[in-house]
Amino acid sequence: MKNVDAFLVIYSVVAFSTVSILSLFEEAAIDVYGVLFIVEFFIVSELAPPFPPKQQRRRTLIAMVLIVIFTGILTRRILEILP
């Protein structure tokens, strides 16, 4: 199995599990799903890197975009908590 295939299978299983568990808790906030999917992406991409070493720029670009999104969501949630 190629790295890309392994990455897709593992990430699909983890994402499906997350959606199933959060639906049991009746979580409706989309930002919770987004943050968990981003964290899962980083974990799974370390376990089964989807790109060969020569194409690590793609992973770095994707990682930077996801970190910006994660930071935005986290900042918004913190500002909601603080008065």
In this predicted model, which residue has the larger pLDDT, 70 or 53? 70
- Distance, CA of 37 to CA of 34 (rounded, Å): 5
Return the pLDDT at 36. 93
pLDDT digits (tens, 9 = 90+) for 13-57: 999 999 999 999 888 888 899 999 999 999 998 888 887 877 788
- Please tell me the pTM assigned to this model: 0.82
Rounded Cα–Cα distance for residues 1 and 38 (Å) = 24
* Mean pLDDT score, 55-80: 91
Question: Positive or negative, the Cα torsion across 19, 25, 26, 31?
Answer: negative
